[in-house]
Amino acid sequence: AQSVTQLDSHVSVSEGTPVLLRCNYSSSYSPSLFWYVQHPNKGLQLLLKYTSAATLVKGINGFEAEFKKSETSFHLTKPSAHMSDAAEYFCVVTPFSGGYNKLIFGAGTRLAVHP
């Protein structure tokens, strides 16, 4: 079975400091992995995706994530947080490499950014 565990339910950073949101996955197959962001009163938006190509994936708004098979991790990072980054972030796995199909979401990490 496939699953994701987001290790922090809440993360708080100061504006201009680095962001690290942690995600571990479990999959019987070579998975595809994603990060989605959810701002209040808005739909979920895809930040980035890993589909068995380069292990370091760059996404929108300066975010990136590194797929580490040995650690079964897919942590999301950003060098410098902006106030507009405050939102809920979801790590997502799908069991089919290269495709989207059924998405399995983690519980989410709420990111707060302080001035």
Partner 1 sequence: EAEVAQSPRYKITEKSQAVAFWCDPISGHATLYWYRQILGQGPELLVQFQDESVVDDSQLPKDRFSAERLKGVDSTLKIQPAELGDSAMYLCASSLQSDEQFFGPGTRLTVL
Tell me if 91 sits within 8 A of 33, measured CB to CB. Answer: yes
101 binds partner 1 (CB under 8 A): yes
Among positions 1, 10, 28, 42, the unique one binding partner 1 when judged by CB under 8 A: 42
Contact residue for partner 1 among 25, 67, 74, 90 (CB under 8 A)? 90
Greatest Cα pair distance in the chain? 42
* Distance from chain centroid for Cα 75: 6
CA-closest candidate to residue 61, choices 90, 40, 86, 41 = 86
Residue nearer to partner 1 on the CB measure, 21 or 92:
92
Instruction: Give the residue, chosen from 44, 63, 97, 112, that forms a contact with partner 1 under the rule CB under 8 A.
Output: 44
- Selected binder of partner 1 within 1, 10, 41, 70 (CB under 8 A): 41
